[in-house]
């Protein structure tokens, strides 16, 4: 099965504490590739991309 590429819109507390940690779990990584994260606050997007090893912010 092909992996699904995901871009996350919003790098606030809900994403950083809930969504991104879930998508970074080992049992999910074989199905999902986190490709990008964006946020109106550029620093938040960059911090999330570094924390969760997401290539594009």
6-48 residue pLDDT tens: 999 999 999 999 999 999 999 998 899 999 999 999 899 999 9
Spatial contact of 49 and 39, defined as CB atoms under 8 Å apart: no
Element (H, E) at 7: strand 4-9
Q: Which of 9, 17, 1 is nearest to 34 (CA)?
A: 9
What pLDDT is recorded for position 42?
84
Tell me the domain boundaries of the chain: 4-51
**pTM: predicted TM-score of the whole model, two decimal places:** 0.86
What pLDDT is recorded for position 29?
84
């Amino acid at each position: 099965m092909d992996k699904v590429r995901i871009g996350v819109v919003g790098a606030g507390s809900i994403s950083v504490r809930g969504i991104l940690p879930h998508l970074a779990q080992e049992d999910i990584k074989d199905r999902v590739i986190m490709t990008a994260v964006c946020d109106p606050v550029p620093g938040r997007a960059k911090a999330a991309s570094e924390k969760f090893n997401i290539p594009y912010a």
